[in-house]
């Protein structure tokens, strides 16, 4: 879980996921296109995404195809975000109550 959060913390990596979301199964060079970064930097980012299991790769000859794995993202939503949704209204009204109490 920690690896996933860490992987998602970087905007370049999130944009790589976006690109794979738009078009799945891209090669490294394809993913490099238009990015202000060297190919090696992209390789590192993809490595981190792969380590976090957010991306799966498949070799096809000399090409390496990158596929998005949406499962860990879904898990973050289920196991983490939803927990805070439940308490959401309660937390906000408690805060509001305290803010008002301040002026007494």
Q: What angle do CA 11, 55, 32 make, to 5 degrees?
A: 55
Residues 75 and 82: their CA atoms lie apart, in Å, by 10
DSSP-based three-state secondary structure for 63: strand
* 34 makes contact with a second copy (CB under 8 A): no
- Choosing among a second copy, DNA, none, which partner's interface includes residue 87 (Cβ < 5 to 8 Å by kind)? a second copy
- Choosing among DNA, a second copy, none, which partner's interface includes residue 45 (Cβ < 5 to 8 Å by kind)? DNA
Residues 98 and 50: their CA atoms lie apart, in Å, by 44
* 56 makes contact with a second copy (CB under 8 A): yes
Are 3 and 52 in contact by the 8 Å Cβ rule? The answer is: yes
Q: Which two structure tokens, joined as six digits, stand for 74?
A: 């879904």
Residues lying near DNA in the complex (CB under 7 A): 6, 9-10, 12, 27-30, 36-41, 43-45, 48, 60-64
Enumerate binding residues for a second copy (CB under 8 A).
Answer: 2, 5-6, 8-9, 11, 14, 17, 21, 24-25, 56, 58, 60, 65, 67-71, 73-74, 76-77, 80-85, 87-88, 91-92, 94-95, 98-99, 102
């Amino acid at each position: 879980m920690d690896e996933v959060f860490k992987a998602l913390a970087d905007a370049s990596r999130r944009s790589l996921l976006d690109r794979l979301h738009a078009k799945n199964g891209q090669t490294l060079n394809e993913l490099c296109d238009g990015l202000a970064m060297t190919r090696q930097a992209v390789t590192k980012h993809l490595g981190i995404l792969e380590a976090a299991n957010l991306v799966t790769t498949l070799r096809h000859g000399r090409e390496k195809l990158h596929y998005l794995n949406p499962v860990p993202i879904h898990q973050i939503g289920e196991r983490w975000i939803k927990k805070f949704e439940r308490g959401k209204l309660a937390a906000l009204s408690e805060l509001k109550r305290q803010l008002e109490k301040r002026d007494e």
